[in-house]
Structures are given as C-alpha cells and as structure tokens.
C-alpha cells in the first residue's frame, strides 16, 4: 500500500492539526513561536526541532503516534501486539491498547497503519459479536485492498473468514481461509489460528475425517510451542468433538480430561463452558443421559442467557431429556428455547424440530422433520444434526412395519450420505 511518506514533516503536522481542530495560535502559545513561525514551519520554510516536535505532539495529543518514518516500525509492532491479544481472547486488554492506538485516525496521510488499525479493530468487534460494525469497517478496508501488500491481504482474508465463520456462512469462510493459507508460508501473526479455523470450517461443513487430519497437522506444526498453547486447547477440544461424532469416545474422553486441566490453568470461563458442553455431548452419545445433563447444567452457567453457546447447550440438553423421556422438563426447556430463539431462524427451527421429535406418532411431526427440518439442516451444512433426525425417523418408520419400509429406506439413504461425507468428503470446492 502506497503511503504518503514523502510528505514533509510540516505538512504532516498541518494535517494532524486540522484533523484535531487545533488552531495555529494554540501551537504558537505552547511552543513560544509566533503564528507566523508556525505557518512557516508547516509550509516547510522553517525547521521543526526535536524538542519543538515533542511539544507540538503533546498539544495535538498524538504523543505516541508515528509522525517520523523512524517511528513507524515500533507503532506497527504495537498494532501486531493488539492483534495477538485479540487472537488470545484477551479482549479487555485488547480494548485498552486499541483505545491508545485509535489516535492513528488523526494521521490521514498514514493510510497503511490506519488500514491495519481498522482491520484489527474489526477483528475485535467480531470477537465481541458486533458483526454489523465490523462489516462496515471491513468495507472501508476493502477499498484499499488492490494496493495492499501480501501481509495486509493475509490479515484481511483471515478476518473475513472469521466474520463469515462466526455468522455461519461456512462455505464463504472456507474460501477466505484457503486464500489466507496460500500466504501462510510467510509466517504472519495468527498463522497457527488459521490452521485451526480451516479445521473448524471442515468440521462445520461435515468433513469430520478431514477436520481431524487438519487438527493432527496442527499438532505436527505447532505442538510444544508455548506461544500457541491457548490455541492448542481449542484444537484438542475440537478434536475431541470430532471423535465424539465418529463415536471414538475413549479418545474423546482422554482429550477432554487434558483440556479441562489446561482450561482451569487459563481460568477462562468460556473455555471451561465449551469443555463442559463436550463432556455432556460425550455422555449423551454414550447413552448416559443423567451425566450428560449434569455437565450441560455446568456449561449453561458459563454463558450469557440467549447467546449462541448458551442456545447450543440448551438444545443439547433438550435432546438428552428426549432420550431420557423426561417429558415435563423437556417441554419446559423447549419453551424456554423457543422464546430465546426469536429472531434466529436456526435455533427457532432447532427447538421447533425438537418439539416434533417428542411426538413422532403424530403424522404432522414426521412430515415436519422430513420436509422442513432435515432439508434445512442439510442445506445449512448441519450434517451431524441432520443425522440425528434421519436416524430418529428411520428407527420410527422401521418400528411401524412393512407399510413404512420405503420411508425407512429413504431415511437410511440420508444417513448413508451424511456418513459418507463425514468419513470421506472428497475435495472442497
């Protein structure tokens, strides 16, 4: 990205002064110059001595901003530190540093550093769930992309991938992550997280075996490096979740026990909540509904009511109650979920479908699951969830005898296709 680095220092000071809405008179009073001297200095007709520059920067409240070319590398290092804190989910620390760095906007000639700041700030907004604000900032960044270098392009692709992953546009996210991976050889900040995000996308798109291979590759590349330990926790947790979906419960249990010990050291409530969720998922898959519900209750305490993770835990608890035939509790939880899901198509369908799962003897319920639930889940890449419903219908139709054998075979075919994707998957296009 071409920067206006050739601007004389006086012109830079003039632009900052204008951006800050400070008069030449105020500069003159602070520096004991005349207004004429200030004007001459801004026009390059008089020098700006180092001590004077410090005084002017103080008046303009840009003391830590890079007005000299020699100051730019240190400022960029601070930007990268800001980015690293975001990647480590240290959002409060990142906000403090971000506030200090935000004055770069008063240096309009610093297009490159402004673009980095906007890009990393949008990543913080994504981490905070403020997707609309992040999208608006990224539109600004996108305008400068044609003249950006590989490094800035890498961060842009990673951020766009993360935005789309967090907003459940998994195919789009995967496309951005693949573009990022083409630049990963350059070893930019966040390359370890990129490898994890690729595995996350593969899991969400239903390619579980490929996701496992990607996570195992992560361990080959980064395991043992202390700076990546926080990502390693997510890697092991996701690996455990993939093992559960493929019914490798012993391997999953070993990983979750390891994750739980690490999570307590990190003292991160969200980490612990996700691990409790996966313990619940594992025990449900093993057929131990009471243990599953016990862990899911612990997970619910770790998340804010109504947020995505909370809804995910609540929905799994509903499925456990269905398995355990806790009809009263199940009904209460479904109603709670439906109220909280207002405005979310995904969770509205999830809780509505769970309600129909409790009444398969009603023809309307089997019709809903077959005609609404399963097509929606397949079209939105929720393959494991689709498998839950196709298997439930298959078992129900088989129990009804020869008259429903065709229906049972149709559901069996859905399950077969999902298993094929999970275990093989082919190439991502």
Contact present, 334 and 354 (Cβ < 8 Å): yes
Please check the confidence at residue 87 and state whether its pLDDT lies above 80. Answer: yes
Q: Which two tokens stand for residue 213?
A: 């291979």
First-to-last alpha carbon distance for the chain, in angstroms, is 31
Average pLDDT over residues 293-300: 98
**Residue 318 CB contacts under 8 Å (≥ 6 apart), including other chains:** 330, 333, 334, 337, 351, 354
Cα distances from 163 to residues 122, 135, 166, 173, 249, in angstroms, run 9, 8, 5, 8, 32
**Helices 191-204, 229-245: inter-axial angle, 10-degree rounding:** 20
Distance CA 223, CA 232 (A): 7
Please check the confidence at residue 236 and state whether its pLDDT lies above 80. Answer: yes
CA angle in degrees (0–180, nearest 5) for 310-311-313: 65
- At 2 the pLDDT is 54
Average pLDDT over residues 1-23: 83
Average pLDDT over residues 213-229: 82
- At 3 the pLDDT is 58
In this structure, the number of other CB atoms found within 10 A of the CB of residue 384 comes to: 19
- At 222 the pLDDT is 83
pLDDT for 187-197, tens place per residue?
777 788 888 99
Helix (H, G, I), strand (E, B) or coil at 427: coil
**Residue 150 CB contacts under 8 Å (≥ 6 apart), including other chains:** 183, 186
- At 426 the pLDDT is 46
Which residue, among 348, 424, 342, 416, has the nearest Cα to 386 in the 3D structure?
416
Average pLDDT over residues 313-340: 96
Cα distances from 418 to residues 138, 238, 275, 424, in angstroms, run 35, 19, 25, 10
Distance CA 235, CA 26 (A): 55
Distance CA 250, CA 240 (A): 10
Between 155-164, 264-273, 353-362, the lowest mean confidence (pLDDT) is in: 264-273
Average pLDDT over residues 113-141: 95
pTM, to two decimals: 0.80
- pLDDT band at residue 1, thresholds of 50, 70 and 90? low
Burial class, 305, CB count within 10 angstroms (exposed 0-12 / middle 13-18 / buried 19+): exposed
Please check the confidence at residue 185 and state whether its pLDDT lies above 70. Answer: no
- At 266 the pLDDT is 80
- pLDDT band at residue 119, thresholds of 50, 70 and 90? very high
Please check the confidence at residue 46 and state whether its pLDDT lies above 50. Answer: yes
- Among 67-71, 200-204, 298-302, name the most confident range: 298-302
Distance CA 297, CA 172 (A): 34
Averaged pLDDT of the chain? 91
Please check the confidence at residue 427 and state whether its pLDDT lies above 50. Answer: no
- At 5 the pLDDT is 54
pLDDT for 140-161, tens place per residue?
999 988 888 999 999 999 999 9
């Amino acid at each position: 990205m071409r920067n206006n680095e050739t601007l004389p220092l006086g012109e830079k000071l003039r632009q900052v002064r204008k951006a800050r809405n400070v008069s030449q008179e105020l500069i003159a009073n602070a520096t004991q110059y005349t207004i004429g001297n200030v004007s001459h200095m801004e026009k390059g007709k008089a020098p700006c001595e180092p001590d004077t520059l410090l005084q002017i920067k103080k008046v303009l409240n840009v003391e830590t901003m890079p007005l000299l070319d020699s100051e730019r590398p240190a400022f960029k290092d601070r930007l990268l530190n800001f980015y690293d804190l975001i990647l480590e989910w240290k959002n409060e620390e990142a906000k403090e540093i971000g506030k200090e760095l935000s004055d770069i906007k008063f240096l309009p000639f610093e297009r490159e550093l402004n673009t980095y700041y906007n890009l990393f700030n949008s990543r913080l907004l994504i981490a905070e769930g403020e997707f609309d604000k992040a999208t608006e900032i990224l539109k600004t960044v996108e305008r400068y992309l044609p003249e950006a270098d590989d490094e800035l392009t890498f961060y842009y692709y990673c951020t766009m991938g993360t935005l789309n992953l967090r907003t459940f546009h998994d195919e789009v996210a995967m496309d951005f992550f693949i573009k990022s991976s083409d630049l990963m050889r350059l070893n930019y900040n966040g390359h370890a997280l990129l490898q994890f995000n690729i595995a996350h996308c593969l899991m969400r798109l239903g390619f579980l075996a490929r996701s496992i291979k990607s996570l195992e590759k992560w361990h080959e590349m980064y395991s043992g490096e202390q700076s990546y330990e926080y990502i390693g926790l997510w890697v092991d947790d996701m690996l455990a979740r993939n093992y559960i979906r493929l019914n490798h419960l012993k391997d999953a249990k070993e990983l979750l026990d390891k994750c739980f010990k690490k999570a307590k050291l990190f003292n991160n409530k969200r980490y612990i909540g996700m691990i409790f969720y996966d313990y619940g998922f594992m025990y449900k898959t093993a057929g131990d509904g009471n243990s599953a519900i016990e862990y899911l209750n612990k997970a619910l305490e770790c998340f804010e009511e109504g947020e995505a993770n909370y809804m995910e835990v609540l929905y799994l608890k509903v499925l456990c109650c269905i398995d355990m035939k806790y009809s009263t509790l199940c009904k209460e939880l479904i109603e709670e979920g439906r109220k909280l899901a207002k405005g979310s198509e995904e969770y509205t369908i999830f809780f509505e479908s769970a309600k129909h799962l409790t009444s398969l003897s009603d023809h309307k319920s089997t019709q809903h699951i077959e005609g609404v639930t399963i097509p929606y889940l397949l079209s939105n890449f929720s393959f494991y969830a689709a498998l839950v419903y196709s298997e439930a219908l298959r078992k129900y139709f088989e129990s009804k005898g020869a008259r429903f054998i065709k229906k049972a075979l149709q559901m069996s075919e859905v399950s077969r296709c999902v298993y094929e994707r999970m275990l093989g998957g082919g190439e991502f296009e």
